[in-house]
Amino acid sequence: QSALTQPGSVSGSPGQSITISCTGARSDVGGYNYVSWYQQHPGKVPKLMIFDVSSRPSGVSNRFSGSKSGNTASLTISGLQGEDEADYYCSSYTSSSTYVFGSGTKVTVL
Amino acid sequence: EVQLLESGGGLVQPGGSLRLSCAASGFTFRSYTMTWVRQGPGRGLDWVSAVSNSGGSTFYADSVKGRFTISRDNSKNTLYLQMNSLRAEDTAIYYCAVGWYYFEYWGQGTLVTVSS
């Protein structure tokens, strides 16, 4: 199972909005509404930010939102803040009853 | 408070074996699917394996199928990963996580280094 495709890096200024894409196939992202997103600061444990494409766990800021169109899922961070600088990974359930993560995107706050 | 504590990592030679454990507390362990995810040095997240809440169903990434075995002991609230025929590319931090369709809670991880 190949990793889902994410841009290597995305940057934005404080207060701006950025969007990270996550492209897969009909056998994973396109076939199921089981896409999740994880934030990972350097040396830290991944943190769940979005599940089931667009749901937010309790405690996660509403500045984070998720969506999906076809085989591509997206994570949008609005009102970008310095603390949002981290690596972000998408993940999807697959038709093989396994999971696949994205290649990861480094978010830089300018 | 959910706590997941991995152990069992270390340095092993290529072809060797290790058994990882993940001790869980703060939630009803027997009710949840459990998952292992790994992260190689400077690399992204890599899904490894999962086991259903009863232990009756197991799932593996192609890269570890036939070499790794996931299991659980619900009486001890503990998840395991038996790793055989280890390769250099298995070097990673191994995290246990709670969940099936998404991974809400993660342990701190245990480092496995495969090297001669």
Residue B65 contacts A where some CB pair is shorter than 8 Å: no
Which of chain B's residues have a Cβ under 8 Å away from the Cβ of A99?
35, 47, 50
pLDDT at B40: 97
User: In chain B, which residue's Cα lies nearest the Cα of A60?
Assistant: B104
The pLDDT tens digits for A79-105 are 999 999 999 999 999 999 999 999 999
Alpha-carbon gap, residue B53 to B56, rounded angstroms = 8
Structure tokens at B24: 């869980």
Comparing CB atoms, the residue among B44, B59, B95 nearest residue A98 is: B59
The pLDDT tens digits for A23-39 are 999 999 999 999 999 99
The β-bridge relationship of strands A9-12 and A105-109 is parallel
Helix (H, G, I), strand (E, B) or coil at A105: strand
Check pLDDT > 80 for residue A1: no
A89–B44 CB contact, under 8 Å: yes
Digit-by-digit pLDDT tens for chain B (116 residues) are 999 999 999 999 999 999 999 999 999 999 999 999 999 999 999 999 999 999 999 999 999 999 999 999 999 999 999 999 999 999 999 999 998 889 999 999 999 999 99
pLDDT at B100: 86
Alpha-carbon gap, residue B112 to B21, rounded angstroms = 12
User: In chain A, which residue's Cα lies nearest the Cα of B104?
Assistant: A48
Q: CA of B102, closest CA in chain A: separation in Å?
A: 6
Is the CB of residue A36 less than 8 Å from the CB of residue A52? yes
Whole-Å CA distances, B39 to A78, A103, B59, B94: 28, 11, 18, 7
Alpha-carbon gap, residue A84 to A88, rounded angstroms = 10
Q: Which of B2, B4, B39, B45 to mutate to test the interface with A (most CBs of A within 10 A)?
A: B45
The pLDDT tens digits for A41-75 are 999 999 999 999 999 999 999 999 999 999 999 99
pLDDT at A76: 98
Which of chain B's residues have a Cβ under 8 Å away from the Cβ of A52?
101-102
Is the CB of residue B81 less than 8 Å from the CB of residue B19? yes
